[in-house]
Amino acid sequence: MDIFLNLVGKNGLIFGFLVIGIIVAFSELFSKKVLNSKIPGSAIAIFLGLVLGYVGGVFSGGEKGLADIAIFKGVGILGGAMFRDFAIVATAIGASFYLVRKAGLLGMISLFFGIGLFFFMGVLLAYAWGYRDAASLCTIGAGACTYIVGPVTGAAVGASSEVIALSIAAGVVKTIAVTIITPIAANKIGLNSPESAMAFGGLMGTSSGVAAGLAATDPKLVPYGAVTATFYTGLGCLICPSLFYILLEMIF
Partner 1 sequence: MKIIYGVALLALSYLIGQWLGEFFGNLLGINANVGGVGFAMIILMVLKEWFIKNSWMSPDIDSGIEFWNKMYIPVVIAMAASLNVKSAVSTGTLAIVAGAIPVVVSFFVFPMILKNFHKN
Restricting to residues 164-223, which ones interact with partner 1 according to CB under 8 A? 165-166, 168-179, 181, 185, 189-191, 196, 199-200, 203-204, 207-208, 211-212, 215, 219, 222-223
Which of these, 217, 134, 127, 206, lies nearest to 171 by C-alpha position? 206
- Distance of closest approach, residue 135 Cβ to partner 1, in angstroms: 16
Give the Cα separation of 149 and 175 in Å (integer).
13
CB-count exposure of residue 39 (10 Å: 0-12, 13-18, 19+): middle
* Residue closer to partner 1 (CB basis): 88 or 248: 88
Identified binder of partner 1 from the candidate list 11, 234, 243, 246, rule CB under 8 A: 234
Tell me the helix, strand and coil percentages in the chain, rounded to 5. 85, 0, 15
Identified binder of partner 1 from the candidate list 8, 15, 31, 46, rule CB under 8 A: 46
Site for partner 1 in 102-131 (CB under 8 A): 106, 109-110, 113-114, 117-118, 121-122, 125-126, 129
Mapped onto helix, strand or coil, the DSSP state of residue 240 is helix
Site for partner 1 contains 143 (CB under 8 A): yes
- Distance of closest approach, residue 40 Cβ to partner 1, in angstroms: 10
Give the Cα separation of 84 and 18 in Å (integer).
17
Give the Cα separation of 173 and 166 in Å (integer).
10
- Distance of closest approach, residue 3 Cβ to partner 1, in angstroms: 25
Identified binder of partner 1 from the candidate list 8, 31, 42, 221, rule CB under 8 A: 42
Site for partner 1 contains 71 (CB under 8 A): no
Going residue by residue from 146 to 165, which x/- string records binding to partner 1, judged by CB under 8 A? --x---x--xx--------x
Identified binder of partner 1 from the candidate list 8, 12, 31, 88, rule CB under 8 A: 88
Mapped onto helix, strand or coil, the DSSP state of residue 159 is coil
Residue 38 has phi, psi (to 5 degrees) of: -70, -35
